[in-house]
């Protein structure tokens, strides 16, 4: 497998997985909708969705992490995103882990030699790339991966409704009260108190998984790595 194919495969799997990330089922704990129910919980599903889309669009920063199974592939994400700047974190595809920084017009990737070798690089080249930051245009073959570090593009994709949505009542995610929006394609959990931020997307089944969102508006930094190796467009 060439590095280009590795990039395209990774980007394609993530795009497909995220597009269907809101499947049926959830990892939240169900709870009664009575007692302490916020005003948001009594709203229509579309109103709640509109509110969480607006809240997500106003975010200055967010942390997202989780796992997704797609077509027999296993993907793990752990990213910190900063509005108007980019993001940084780690992506793992079937055990192949690489660090990612998205900043302006460039995407930066770093991985150990064994990852590059498994991705198709000759042994000598893989050793030369070991632990080095590679810089590539964000509009090139890694464009879809770079888009993961754009807070607005990510939420625009994740919060796009698939099918008819319904208000599924209140639940809890990591001890936080949430309102569940359910559909044939998935479950989105929205904070029931305070700002209606998206808290988790969950899907059960063989092509399922979950993504959680937290550390809303925390202070984070995203800087371009130094001593990079440029890859062509």
pLDDT tens digits for 41-79?
Answer: 899 999 999 999 999 999 999 999 998 887 777 888 999
Share of the chain above pLDDT 90, in %: 42
Q: What is the mean pLDDT of the chain?
A: 82
pLDDT of residue 70: 76
If phi > 0 it is left, if psi is from -120 to 50 it is alpha, else beta; for residue 175 that is left
pLDDT for position 116: 84
For 79, 80, 119, 152, 210, the CA distances from 47, given in Å and listed in that order, are 28, 28, 45, 20, 23
Interval 79-121: pLDDT, tens: 999 999 999 999 888 888 889 999 989 989 999 998 888 877 8
pTM score, two decimals? Answer: 0.83
- Max CA-CA distance within the chain? 64
pLDDT of residue 15: 55
| Rounded average pLDDT over 174-196 | 90
Residue 4 has pLDDT above 70, yes or no: no
Q: Where are the alpha helices (DSSP H) in the chain?
A: 3-19, 45-57, 113-118, 123-129, 143-146, 151-158
Q: Which residues contact 66 (CB under 8 A, 6 or more apart)?
A: 76, 77, 201, 209, 210, 211, 212
pLDDT at 19: 53
* pLDDT higher than 50, residue 5: no
d(CA 203, CA 207): 8
3-221: in CATH 3.40.50.1000: no
Q: Is a pLDDT exceeding 50 seen at residue 172?
A: yes
Nearest to 163 by CA among 180, 187, 147: 187
145-160 average pLDDT score? 85
Residue 24: how many CA atoms within 13 Å on its side-chain side? 5
pLDDT digits (tens, 9 = 90+) for 8-50: 445 554 554 555 544 334 444 433 333 344 688 899 999 999 9
pLDDT surpassing 60 at residue 122: yes
The structural domains of the chain, with segments of one domain joined by +, span 3-221
């Amino acid at each position: 497998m060439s590095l280009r194919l590795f990039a395209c495969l990774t980007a394609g799997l993530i795009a497909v997985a995220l597009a269907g990330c809101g499947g049926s089922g959830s990892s939240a704990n169900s709870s009664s909708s009575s007692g302490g129910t916020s005003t948001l919980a009594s709203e229509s599903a579309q109103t709640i969705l509109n509110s969480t889309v607006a809240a997500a669009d106003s975010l200055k920063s967010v942390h997202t992490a989780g796992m997704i199974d797609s077509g027999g592939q296993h993907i793990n994400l752990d990213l910190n995103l900063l509005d108007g700047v980019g993001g940084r974190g780690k992506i793992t595809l079937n055990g192949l882990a690489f660090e990612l920084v998205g900043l302006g017009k460039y995407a930066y990737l770093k991985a150990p030699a064994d990852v590059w070798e498994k991705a198709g690089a000759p042994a000598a080249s893989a050793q030369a790339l070991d632990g080095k930051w590679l810089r590539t245009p964000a509009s090139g073959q890694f464009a879809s991966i770079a888009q993961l570090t754009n807070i607005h593009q990510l939420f625009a994709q994740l919060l796009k409704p698939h099918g008819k949505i319904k208000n599924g009542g209140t639940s809890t995610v990591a001890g936080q009260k949430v309102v569940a929006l359910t559909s044939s394609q998935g479950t989105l959990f929205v904070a029931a108190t305070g700002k209606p931020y998206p808290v988790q997307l969950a899907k059960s089944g063989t092509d399922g998984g979950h993504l959680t969102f937290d550390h809303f508006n925390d202070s984070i930094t995203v800087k371009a790595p130094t001593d990079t190796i440029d890859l062509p467009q």
